Structure 1
Amino acid sequence: MKKTQDYFEKIKLAEIEPNSFNVREQFEEKSIQELAKSMEIDGLINPLTIRVVGKNKFEIICGERRYRAALLLGWETIDAYIKELTVEDAKRLCLIENIQRENISVMEEAKALKRLYELTGDIDELIARVNKSESYVRSHLRLNNLIPKIVNRLEKEEISFGVASVLCAYSADIQQDIHSRFLDKDAYNNWLSLSKDEIKKRVESFYTTQLDQYKFDLKECRECVSNTANFTLFSDRCGKCMNKTCLDEKNATYLLAKAIEIKQADPLVVLCTSFVRATNKTVIERLKLQEFEIQDNAQCQLYPQEPKKPAFSEGVTEEEKEEVIEDYQKKMQKHTNLMDDLKKKEGRGELTKFAVIGEKDIDFQYQLHTKKNETEELQKQLTTLAEKDKRNQELKIINTVKDTKAVIFEQHEIPSTKAISVDENKYFYYFLLEALASKHFQYFDIPNSTYYLSDKQKKEILDRGLSEEQKAMIQRDYLARHFNSAFGNGITSEFFIAFAKEHFPEEVTKIEKKYTEVYHKRQKKLKEQSSMIEKELKKRKKLPKKDKKAA
């Protein structure tokens, strides 16, 4: 009879399987053995909670440790409470059961809370279901932001929950840097013995930056979760950024746009790096990629700073105010005169304006020099751009060749049996021309004064076309170049003699005869010496043993 409600029953262990959404990943063998011993003596006190997932097939919701202990004992069946649950309800019940365990680890609980939150989709419902405080739930949820290496430290109890709760607020790249530099127990300056508050202070000092130091629009940053001003434990008005990657990218994007805007407004302005201050390398690289000319380490002068308008506190007399205002006006007039003078010099071409790219902003500075013609300066810039274009064309070919080599020589195999094409034959003769003797240049319309063939001249020869006589000349010069290295008794020497005989049979035969005669004379003498030794050996073989020893 089919059961339609929750019920108890003995179920075969072979029909039960663990679920895939249990947050517990580690089961200590010793702990399972101890539980098995207890179950062997006292029996199973609490049945498993399982659900039907198919015909004679069940999935554990609660009690995987008991299930593993029963397998260890060799039980065939086990008491179970069978519940009719959907997949979502089963996940929820399993996660809540895990969270309520006494021996759950910090990270297991954090993962369980995260999965349960994903199921409920509501933080208030999650808090109500697990019966924990809001701060408890939120602090554990944040632990899921930890990188695996720091999770491992936490699970090994090398760092505390408090320290982990500080580190999880930071971006992955900052966590990675902290782990490699300060959580290595072999490092003399590690932070492993420091308290949560001490580590919090050091992380702030090393890795956070006041947002109000930056010039880009901070609208998005004010609501960002990485802004410390949004944490109750920080009191900063503007806040500090804890996501260095995001901060650096926003800053670089702003500076790049500002630099391009400056250059577009006035092409005569020179973009440069500072001689004394740090510069934003990312922005410099991106400007260069967009073909902007950057002058390095420009030694410029600062424009005069505008005097600050005076502000008066209570108790200052009118007479004192008039005196301060009069002094301010004098300074302001001096500043105006200086700026007007510099502007005139710029108009006469006696001053070059520089946009100095710093770490967080771009400042204007200047250099004085003898009068320059603006038209000539702009023409000079055009020439520089033309040279850059020429270099870019070279780079296009260089990189195309490099990547093509990688494709055809490393990833593919060049066809070996396919017939050689007309173009391939042309390429073949291009390389053979390397060995063309200078005495034959005249037959290819190359001046006799030419010392060696350039690549361009080789191409011109091939473009004009080769006669059969020219092809033969090139091939034989190539053979002669390589046969010139012939030495000793080898295949190259053998082929060289044969090649020489084909073209100069009488001379080679005469040479061969000369050295054959020398060889025969030497051979005759060697044979005579060999014959004497052989006779002595025969003589010794005929002697009795005593005589051999005496000999």
Structure 2
Amino acid sequence: MEGKIRNCYTNNLDNYSFDKTKCLKCIHNSSNFDLFAEGGGSGKCTNKKCLSDKQTAYLVEQAQAVALADSKLTFIGEQYSHDNEATQIIKKGGYEFKNVQTYNLNSYPTAPTEPQASEYKKPEDYDKAQEKYGKQQERYEKESQELETLKEQGKIRVYAKIGDSNVRMYYKEVATKDTKTNEQLISDLKAKKVRNTEIAKEKTAGDIKELLRTDELPKSEFTPAEEQAMYFFMLDKLRRSHYKTIGLKENDYYGLTDEKKQEIVANLTEEQKTVIRRDYLYSHLTERTNTVSGVQGGMMLAFATQHLPEKTATIEAQYTEEYGKKNARLDERIAGLKEAEKKAKADAKAKKAEQTTKTEKAPKTAEKAVKKEANTTAPKSETTKPKGKEQSKATQSEKKEAKPTPQADKVLIVGVPKAQPQADAVAV
């Protein structure tokens, strides 16, 4: 359990490159309180906060040193991962960062670690390690010098990445067409400097606007500075005819700069303030106002009546009379149309009643027509009546003939005699 605690909850100081002189006697160093601590190492730190602060300070110092040594150096940023604390500090320090993938870059050579005699049991092993170290150091210095020459010639671009344990260097070859002289680089850097200043002001403005939008402003008295700012913006609505009133010259008619406006509002008289306020009010009363019947239109009418009563009354009277006459003619037409509509309805009603009457008489007329047709087609003896006594006798004769005989309702069966051949022969 004790070994697990040492391995999991302590940090090996040998894994860090910062100066550990103070750590050798620190109470948080496991070598100073662990009875089972083994020699040969720097120990393990049990104070994570102190260890992290020391490592961050070391990384920041190293990053600043490489940036100072190479004015063209660019730091590598991480687009999708979280920046460590040292990287955040360097970013806030204003150093340039670019999101570049390290697999597209070449690594700078790493300096070899010099062997320590205490690490070897045999002197001959140490001597061999020293010889190997010497060759590695010579190769490292040669490669570093070559890269330094290429960097001075502008043939490579150097990058630095701040890791968790050290600052690693990278480089990338630059095409000939992309190679820039120092003068060109200085010009680019000056342009970046100007742009950085602009960005700082833009971001400041953005955050201040958000602050004013979200935070409640105090209910304090309106200050002279606020009043000047108010008149500064009101001057945008000042009519050209009033420029002389506030001391503007002929040349100012064609452009009122912010600097000139700031100079004006710092020394306004009460009369000038009234002119500016009134022009500002006039501008908003007349802008997009198309009728005097609305709220804004009513305010405009009241404003005009207050300051120009006679002319305003003349305008009102002119259009009241003109369109009053037009409305009178329209009223006459409306009355005529109403009368015509009334007459049309009465005619329609009368016509409907007439049609109803005709519909009711139609069956009777049809019945008479049928009877008339029947009389026309009947036999003359039946339809013609005798006149006078003849008519009476004829009627009596018809009545007698009409009387049925007593046997009229009986059926008589008559027998046919058998044929006689001889008689028939004679007859033929």
Q: Aligned-pair distance for 1:244?
A: 2.5
Rounded to whole Å, the distance in 1 between the matches of 2:23 and 2:209 is: 46
Partner of residue 47, structure 2: 243
Match for 1:289: what amino acid?
K
Q: Aligned-pair distance for 1:204?
A: 5.4
Alignment of 1:363 with 2:168, yes or no, is yes
Match for 2:149: what amino acid?
K
Partner of residue 215, structure 1: 17
Partner of residue 415, structure 1: 221
Q: Aligned-pair distance for 1:465?
A: 6.5
Structure with more strand by fraction:
1
Residues 288 and 294, structure 1, Cα contact 8 Å, conserved in 2: yes
Residues 273 and 294, structure 1, Cα contact 8 Å, conserved in 2: yes
Instruction: Pick 1 or 2: higher relative contact order, CA cutoff 8 A, min separation 6.
Output: 2
Rounded to whole Å, the distance in 2 between the matches of 1:250 and 1:354 is: 24
The residue matched to 2:100 in structure 1 has which SS?
strand
Rounded to whole Å, the distance in 1 between the matches of 2:266 and 2:228 is: 9
Residues 270 and 295, structure 1, Cα contact 8 Å, conserved in 2: no
Rounded to whole Å, the distance in 1 between the matches of 2:134 and 2:97 is: 39
1:388 maps to which of 172, 187, 196:
196
Cα 1:228–1:366, aligned 2, differ >3 Å: closer, same or farther?
A: same
Residues 75 and 98, structure 2, Cα contact 8 Å, conserved in 1: yes
2:106 maps to which of 301, 304, 318:
301
Q: Aligned-pair distance for 1:216?
A: 0.9
Identity %: 20
Matches within 5 A, 1:41-80: none
The residue matched to 2:90 in structure 1 has which SS?
helix
Rounded to whole Å, the distance in 2 between the matches of 1:277 and 1:394 is: 25
Matches within 5 A, 1:369-518: 369=174, 370=176, 371-389=179-197, 391-392=199-200, 410=217, 412-415=218-221, 421=224, 425-436=227-238, 455=258, 458-459=261-262, 462=265, 472=275, 475-482=278-285, 484=287, 492-502=296-306, 503=308, 504-511=312-319
Match for 1:481: what amino acid?
H
Cα 1:388–1:234, aligned 2, differ >3 Å: closer, same or farther?
A: farther
Residues 432 and 478, structure 1, Cα contact 8 Å, conserved in 2: no
Match for 2:221: what amino acid?
P
1:289 maps to which of 92, 98, 110:
92
Alignment of 1:252 with 2:56, yes or no, is yes
Runs (5+) with no aligned partner, structure 2: 336-428
Rounded to whole Å, the distance in 2 between the matches of 1:326 and 1:219 is: 29
Cα 1:338–1:491, aligned 2, differ >3 Å: closer, same or farther?
A: closer
Partner of residue 371, structure 2: none
Residues 273 and 358, structure 1, Cα contact 8 Å, conserved in 2: no
Residues 252 and 283, structure 1, Cα contact 8 Å, conserved in 2: yes
Rounded to whole Å, the distance in 2 between the matches of 1:231 and 1:218 is: 17
Matches within 5 A, 1:103-182: none
Partner of residue 354, structure 2: none
TM-score (ref. length: structure 2): 0.52
Rounded to whole Å, the distance in 1 between the matches of 2:278 and 2:203 is: 34
Per-residue CA shift, 1:337-370, capped at 9, x if unaligned?
A: 5444323222322233333321121123222223
Matches within 5 A, 1:274-285: 281-285=84-88
The residue matched to 2:151 in structure 1 has which SS?
helix
Q: Aligned-pair distance for 1:272?
A: 0.9
Rounded to whole Å, the distance in 2 between the matches of 1:413 and 1:277 is: 45
Residues 273 and 356, structure 1, Cα contact 8 Å, conserved in 2: yes
Q: Aligned-pair distance for 1:256?
A: 1.7
Cα 1:330–1:432, aligned 2, differ >3 Å: closer, same or farther?
A: closer
Residues 29 and 44, structure 2, Cα contact 8 Å, conserved in 1: yes
Residues 306 and 332, structure 1, Cα contact 8 Å, conserved in 2: yes
Cα 1:232–1:308, aligned 2, differ >3 Å: closer, same or farther?
A: closer
Residues 303 and 364, structure 1, Cα contact 8 Å, conserved in 2: yes
Per-residue CA shift, 1:182-215, capped at 9, x if unaligned?
A: xxxxxxxxxxxxxxx49x948954x543222111
Cα 1:467–1:286, aligned 2, differ >3 Å: closer, same or farther?
A: same
Rounded to whole Å, the distance in 2 between the matches of 1:253 and 1:439 is: 67
Match for 1:293: what amino acid?
E
Residues 355 and 363, structure 1, Cα contact 8 Å, conserved in 2: yes
Cα 1:340–1:477, aligned 2, differ >3 Å: closer, same or farther?
A: closer
Match for 2:54: what amino acid?
K
Cα 1:242–1:276, aligned 2, differ >3 Å: closer, same or farther?
A: farther
Partner of residue 153, structure 2: 348
Rounded to whole Å, the distance in 1 between the matches of 2:169 and 2:286 is: 69
CA RMSD in angstroms comes to: 5.4
The residue matched to 1:297 in structure 2 has which SS?
coil
Rounded to whole Å, the distance in 1 between the matches of 2:131 and 2:42 is: 37
The residue matched to 1:284 in structure 2 has which SS?
helix
Partner of residue 138, structure 1: none
The residue matched to 1:360 in structure 2 has which SS?
coil
Rounded to whole Å, the distance in 2 between the matches of 1:219 and 1:279 is: 31
Partner of residue 422, structure 2: none
Alignment of 1:232 with 2:40, yes or no, is no
Per-residue CA shift, 1:77-131, capped at 9, x if unaligned?
A: xxxxxxxxxxxxxxxxxxxxxxxxxxxxxxxxxxxxxxxxxxxxxxxxxxxxxxx
Rounded to whole Å, the distance in 2 between the matches of 1:434 and 1:348 is: 56
Residues 285 and 297, structure 2, Cα contact 8 Å, conserved in 1: no
Number of equivalences = 310
Cα 1:273–1:497, aligned 2, differ >3 Å: closer, same or farther?
A: same
Runs (5+) with no aligned partner, structure 1: 1-196, 526-551
Match for 2:279: what amino acid?
R
Q: Aligned-pair distance for 1:400?
A: 8.0
Q: Aligned-pair distance for 1:224?
A: 3.3
Residues 228 and 240, structure 1, Cα contact 8 Å, conserved in 2: yes
Matches within 5 A, 1:93-108: none
Cα 1:263–1:493, aligned 2, differ >3 Å: closer, same or farther?
A: same
The residue matched to 2:159 in structure 1 has which SS?
strand
Q: Aligned-pair distance for 1:273?
A: 2.7
Rounded to whole Å, the distance in 2 between the matches of 1:312 and 1:229 is: 22
Residues 274 and 358, structure 1, Cα contact 8 Å, conserved in 2: no
Cα 1:244–1:283, aligned 2, differ >3 Å: closer, same or farther?
A: same
Q: Bigger radius of gyration, 1 or 2?
A: 2
Cα 1:233–1:463, aligned 2, differ >3 Å: closer, same or farther?
A: same
Partner of residue 114, structure 1: none
